[in-house]
Amino acid sequence: MNSIVTQERIIALRKKRSAQDLRFKYYGFIAMCLALAVLVFLLYSIFSRGFTAFQKTTILLEINYDQEVLKLTPDSTEKEIEKGKFFKVKKNALNNVFENLSKSDAKLIKKLFSTNIDNEIKNYFLNNPSVLNTKQKLWVTAHSNVDQMLKGNSSRDVPEDRRKLNDIQLSFIDQLVQENRIQKEFNNFFFTRADSRHPEIAGIAGSFMGSLLTLFVVFILSFPIAIGASVYLEEFAPKNKLTELIEVNISNLAAVPSIVFGLLGLGVLLNVFGFPRSTPLVGGTVLALMTLPTIIIACRASLKAVPPSIKEGALAIGATKSQAVFHHVVPLALPGTLTGTIIGLAQALGETAPLIMIGMVAFIPNIPTGITEPSASLPVQIFLWVESAERGFQEKSAAAIMIILLFLFMMNALAVYLRNRFEKKW
């Protein structure tokens, strides 16, 4: 009798336990779905806003490369061409966009085009000097206001005084559209130019280069120092109060807010040592200081993961301590070390606050070519564009976020690749 009661209780308990099991499985599944939904929403909002930035609007313009107007001859050198009167050619072309334009209408027409079209007209001529004294039809960049209107980012239903384009300009645009003289094409400027005050010709090449140079400095500084520090702490340092204190403080440093490192850069690197302001050199140094603790922690973890039997084997046949470490332990720890370094670099790539402190937030319209030239960086560029009042910068900032995400994704993919490529099994 008693044993039957016990049996029933055991069965009831077992049912309860398996129900619990199932419940936790569903909790986990729901949590994962929620996280995934948030991620998808985030990516969707970025992509839906940003993808239009990869296209620009261009308008077909008939240009008369007249020898007299340009003040050039067929024998002109490149230097003379640089000084040619292309703005006059442009003015003539703009006046003839439509037939019989009044002076005020011509002024309105001019505002439909980017300020950069002088350069486009000149560059076309530089590449094709034979077009002198001919009429050429060129697709030239439209003004950001036109671009945004056609992409549907700004509405034409609002009252005229709250629009960037007035009714007459809208009717011109409509006419251009009807005559197929306006089109969208791939926005090469976005990938080849630095920042600009004019959204239609602003690009991320400058800040991308800046980020690359900064990461280069971070890598050069942090990788050797991190390897040295972690090998010393893990393999050579005596275990005493001092090394314990150092270890604790490395973990503490990893948690210090990044803006504090920016203040350090401002106070010490710029004011005491006189590093050049706004440059990848000083930005990279600050970010290297910031990522060092992270990389050291990752390096030490991977050194710890090497089985001690390998080191013992080397020592037992008479290798010195440093031979055992550098011939056997470090090579085996290298994949983990590289992965840790790349994760640290990825962290540095996304960092904005410390760069603001050391002046990498300045407006830099050039693509930097060295680590001592002023430059922007991707996250700061996004910050600057998000801040801008011009509507054209909004899609640019979303597109720049896409680029930085792609960059991060590729760095992580590289980390995974390196780990799989060099990891040794034993």
Partner 1 sequence: MVDKNNTKILAKDVDVFYSEKQALNKISMDIKEKEVTALIGPSGCGKSTFLRCINRMNDLIEICKVSGSIKVDNEEIISSATDVVSLRSKIGMVFQKPNPFPKSIFDNVAYGPSIHGLADTKSDLENIVITSLKKAGLYNEVKDRLNEPGTSLSGGQQQRLCIARAIAVNPEIILMDEPCSALDPIATAIIEELIDELRLNYTIIIVTHSMQQAARVSQKTCFFHLGELIETGDTNKIFTNPDNTKTQDYITGRFG
Residue 205 CA to residue 411 CA, distance in Å, equals 18
Q: State the minimum distance, in angstroms, from the CB of residue 311 to partner 1.
A: 8
Asked if 325 interacts with partner 1 (CB under 8 A), we say: no
Asked if 319 interacts with partner 1 (CB under 8 A), we say: yes
Residue 254 CA to residue 346 CA, distance in Å, equals 15
Residue 143 CA to residue 392 CA, distance in Å, equals 10
Q: State the minimum distance, in angstroms, from the CB of residue 335 to partner 1.
A: 12
Q: State the minimum distance, in angstroms, from the CB of residue 315 to partner 1.
A: 7
x/- track of binding to partner 1 for residues 295-314 (CB under 8 A): ------------x-xx-xxx
Touching partner 1, residues 331-370 (CB under 8 A): 332
Integer CA distances (angstroms), 84 to 73, 112, 117, 140, in order? 10, 24, 14, 19
Q: 61 with 89: CB under 8 angstroms?
A: no
Mark the segment that binds partner 1 (CB under 8 A) among 54-62, 292-300, 326-334, 409-417: 326-334
Q: State the minimum distance, in angstroms, from the CB of residue 422 to partner 1.
A: 11
Residue from 315, 353, 408, 411 binding partner 1 (CB under 8 A)? 315
Which lies closer to partner 1 via its Cβ, residue 164 or residue 327?
A: 327
Which lies closer to partner 1 via its Cβ, residue 237 or residue 386?
A: 237
Residue from 141, 328, 338, 375 binding partner 1 (CB under 8 A)? 328
Asked if 327 interacts with partner 1 (CB under 8 A), we say: yes
- If we measure between CA atoms, which residue out of 282, 296, 293, 230 comes closest to residue 256? 293
Asked if 424 interacts with partner 1 (CB under 8 A), we say: yes
Count Cβ neighbours within 10 Å for each residue of 124-157 and write b for 16 or more, e otherwise: bbeeeeeebeeeeebbbbbbbbbbbbbbeebeee
Q: 224 with 293: CB under 8 angstroms?
A: no
Residue 29 CA to residue 24 CA, distance in Å, equals 9
Q: State the minimum distance, in angstroms, from the CB of residue 337 to partner 1.
A: 16
Asked if 426 interacts with partner 1 (CB under 8 A), we say: yes
Burial classification of residue 408, based on how many CB atoms lie within 10 Å of its CB (0-12 exposed, 13-18 middle, 19 or more buried): middle
Residues that bind partner 1 (CB under 8 A): 238-239, 307, 309-310, 312-320, 323, 327-328, 332, 424-426
